[in-house]
């Protein structure tokens, strides 16, 4: 069942309309100005639609297929640019971490630490993130059943930190495709924590022969609508002014010019869902 409330992330705006919350932003910080520029656009839309909003950007990409793929502009420069969104716009911010050592450093700059799907079983990483006292968003591994995520959650709550969210980003379907099993949403909501649907990563086509993941962005609206209708608590998506030239995950990101229309539609579906409960 949906929690129908906004998580108590520091700085998040709360509304009485029961809307889903949104985690959105670019895949990775491509230059120091980028986070603030994109956050401004999303903030204007979410303020108008009364959607609680958390800004997302990776300060470093550690899971690239090819050695020469873009991984970031430098850790400190990227973290500082993400923190400017928090400080100048008053928005909560989230970034992903890849090792226990990174948890304490990133926690100085962001409100939520995100655990990548391929690391969701790493006990030392989960516990290190939890011990910072920050919110922890755990992405479900593409290789895990939804019910198995309770053990990842327990690694965080076992430290005394109950501020946990779970994000579904699809399950492997063969070597080069992903599928979303909507049954996983209510299954993971049974753990008592917010459940988020990562719309854009669910449409990745990984493990391509050329070493760059493909994607099916034309289906972003389809997957997002289905998730809201299924009662998901939050939506995660990556967006970019020009995905065709993005330095990471461009093949499955949403063009930011399409964001307002998509969110407007999702708000309508969310209100219809709430009326059925």
Query: Domain coordinates of the chain in residue numbers?
Result: 21-275
Answer whether residue 205 shows pLDDT above 90.
no
Output 109 or 215, whichever has higher pLDDT: 109
For residues 99 and 216, which has the higher predicted lDDT (pLDDT)?
99
The predicted-structure confidence for 32-47, as pLDDT tens digits, reads as follows 999 999 999 999 999 9
When pLDDT is cut at 50, 70 and 90, the band that residue 211 belongs to is low
Q: What is the CATH number of domain 21-275?
A: 3.20.20.70
Q: Give residue 97's pLDDT.
A: 97
The fraction of the chain above a pLDDT of 90, given in percent, is 81
- DSSP per residue over the chain, as a string? ----S----TT----SS---EEEEE-SB--STTHHHHHHHHHHHHHHHHT--EEEE-BS-----SSTTS---S-HHHHHHHHHHHHHHH---EEEE--SHHHHHHHHTT-SEEEE-GGGTT-HHHHHHHHHTTSEEEEEPPTTS-GGGHHHHHHHHHTTT---EEEEE--EE-SSS-EE--TTHHHHHHTTSS-EEEETTGGGEE-S-TTSS-EE-GGGHHHHHHHHHHTT-SEEEEEEES-GGG-SSSGGGPEEGGGHHHHHHHHHHHHHHHHHT-
pLDDT of residue 1: 54
User: pLDDT (tens digit, 9 = 90+) per residue, 30-84?
Assistant: 999 999 999 999 999 999 999 999 999 999 987 655 565 677 899 999 999 999 9
pLDDT for position 100: 97
Confidence class for position 159, pLDDT limits 50, 70, 90: very high
Q: Give the pTM.
A: 0.93
């Amino acid at each position: 069942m949906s929690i129908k409330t906004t998580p108590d992330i520091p700085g998040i705006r709360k509304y009485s309309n029961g809307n889903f919350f949104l985690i959105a932003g670019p895949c990775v910080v491509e230059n120091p100005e980028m986070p603030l520029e994109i956050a401004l656009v999303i903030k204007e839309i979410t303020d108008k639609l009364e959607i609680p909003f958390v800004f997302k950007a990776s300060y470093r990409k550690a899971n690239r297929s090819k050695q020469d793929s873009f991984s970031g502009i430098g850790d400190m420069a990227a973290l500082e640019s993400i923190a400017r969104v928090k400080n100048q716009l008053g928005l909560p911010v989230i970034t992903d971490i890849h090792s226990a050592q990174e948890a304490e450093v990133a926690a100085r700059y962001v409100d939520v630490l995100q655990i990548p799907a391929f690391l969701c079983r790493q006990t030392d990483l989960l516990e290190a993130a939890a011990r910072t006292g920050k919110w922890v968003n755990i992405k479900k591994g593409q290789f895990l059943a939804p019910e198995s995520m309770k053990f990842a959650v327990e690694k965080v709550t076992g430290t005394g930190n109950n501020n946990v969210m779970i994000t579904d980003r699809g399950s492997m379907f063969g070597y080069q495709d992903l599928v979303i099993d909507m049954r996983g949403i209510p299954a993971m909501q049974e753990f008592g924590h917010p459940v988020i649907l990562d719309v854009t990563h669910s449409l990745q086509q990984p493990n391509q022969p050329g070493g760059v993941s493909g994607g099916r962005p034309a289906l972003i609206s389809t997957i997002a609508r289905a998730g809201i209708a299924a009662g998901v608590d939050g939506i995660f998506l990556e967006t970019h002014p020009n995905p065709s030239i993005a330095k990471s995950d461009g093949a499955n990101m949403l063009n930011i010019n399409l964001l307002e229309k998509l969110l407007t539609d999702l708000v309508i579906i969310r209100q219809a869902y709430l009326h059925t409960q």
